[in-house]
Amino acid sequence: MGDPGPRTVHLLLSEPTRPYDDEPTLDFLVRARGQWVSIETSVRTWDGDGLDSFLSALAEDFRGWKGERTWHSLEYDLTISAEHHSGGRVHLTWGIHDRPPVEQWHFETTTVHAAGEDMRNLAAEVRSFLTNMPR
């Protein structure tokens, strides 16, 4: 059998909620949809766990960095690793994990973004998503 080639997977962060009105806990859904995958899980963060800051730092380092940079949500249900590649591209590997204590499955997909402005736009969209929640 031949290689079927790359398959498009769409990632969506949605339905942000604050389950405890008096705490900065912020939950949201992360979904991955594509021809061969359809999963979602609830992600728990403490006020976003600095996801927007992580993405902003990647955008500001548009000239590149060595090695891998990582981020994770409070309960590790969403993880991101970032690598800067030649040609001014940032590869983000998004890990979506089953909730503890079960942890029966794990899914990863990689998105590729132009360093600089493309990453700034992604960081701004995530910042807006995380901060436009009533407290």
Nearest-angstrom CA–CA distance, 92 and 112: 6
- 64 part of a folded domain: yes
The count of other CB atoms within 10 Å of the CB of residue 89 is 14
The token pair at 37 is 């995958």
- 83 part of a folded domain: yes
- 3 part of a folded domain: no
Q: 58 and 90 in contact (C-beta within 8 Å)?
A: yes
Element (H, E) at 94: strand 89-97
Residue range of the domain that includes 49: 10-131
pLDDT 10s per residue in the chain (135 long)?
445 556 788 999 999 999 998 889 999 999 999 888 899 999 999 999 999 999 999 999 878 888 999 999 999 999 999 998 877 899 999 999 987 677 788 999 999 999 889 999 999 999 999 988 655
Beta strand ranges found along 4-53 (DSSP E): 9-17, 25-34, 38-46
CATH label of the domain that carries residue 111: 2.30.31
Instruction: Give how many domains the chain has, as a whole number.
Output: 1
pTM above 0.85, yes or no: yes
- 99 part of a folded domain: yes
- 107 part of a folded domain: yes
